Amino acid sequence: MDKLVVVTGGTKGIGRAIIERFALAGFGVATCARNEKELALLKQDIESRFSVPVFTFVTDMSAKDQVKAFGDKVLKLSQPIEVLVNNAGYFIPGAVLDEAEGSLESMINTNLYSAYHLSRVLVPSMKAKKKGHVFNMCSIASIMAYPNGGSYAISKFALLGFSKVLREELKEHGVRVTSVLPGATLTASWDGVNLPDERLMKPEDIADTIFSAYSLSKRSVVEEILIRPQLGDL
């Protein structure tokens, strides 16, 4: 194995689809989640289907010390990091004035700070090699406010800002940075919503788009990917 993809929050939804797409291309995988059993099942499935090594680590991405520890463990694998996907995040609906106390802090920790702290651990190795690609999983909520978006939208606006700053800082060092802004996608966030599956995008579509952006020559970078359901936002 000469390439490693690192994906946070990799056991479900978009994160898992990204892992499967890169594993299909022969990438080794490092990923994390909070549920040890789900990580073990992911490892078994991906290794058996794609014959690539999968390294899993139980991590709470809302906790700074655990995020940094995950990054350190990935570095100790001594595998060249080709792609980092800052995917971990979650959504609690609510309005700024009415949502539960602590909602902003909780979603900022997971949706923004996890990407910031992990990038600070892993990206210097890419910078030193003058190669690599960072994908930050933003959202339609990064560019538009909507009812019950609340602190989730705030966190995703901030993540897009972080991604733009990182792109500017790394462009002279051969490391590409792409902000990914998906609309409604068929993931656990939409569980219980009475909508036909066809109204939501497939996680595999997001993964294929990310892989296509990665596959461009090193002369080019897709700075932002804005992808919506064909029938528009929900």
**Domain holding 125: CATH number?**
3.40.50.720
Asked if residue 233 belongs to a domain, the reply is: no
Asked if residue 174 belongs to a domain, the reply is: yes
Asked if residue 30 belongs to a domain, the reply is: yes
Out of 113, 116, 146, 152, the active site residue is 152
Summarize pLDDT for 76-105 with one digit per residue, the tens: 999 999 999 999 999 989 999 999 999 999
Burial of 125 (0-12, 13-18, 19+ CB in 10 A): middle
Intervals of the chain under pLDDT 70: 1, 189-192
Asked if residue 115 belongs to a domain, the reply is: yes
Token pair for residue 8?
């946070």
Whole-angstrom distance, CA of residue 5 vs CA of residue 85? 8
Asked if residue 40 belongs to a domain, the reply is: yes
Asked if residue 184 belongs to a domain, the reply is: yes
Q: What total of structural domains would you count in the chain? A: 1
Tell me which residue range forms the domain holding 62. 4-227
152 assigned to active site: yes
Asked if residue 123 belongs to a domain, the reply is: yes
In the prediction, which pLDDT does 196 show? 82
> How far is residue 2 from each of residues 10, 51, 214, measured CA to CA in Å?
20, 14, 16
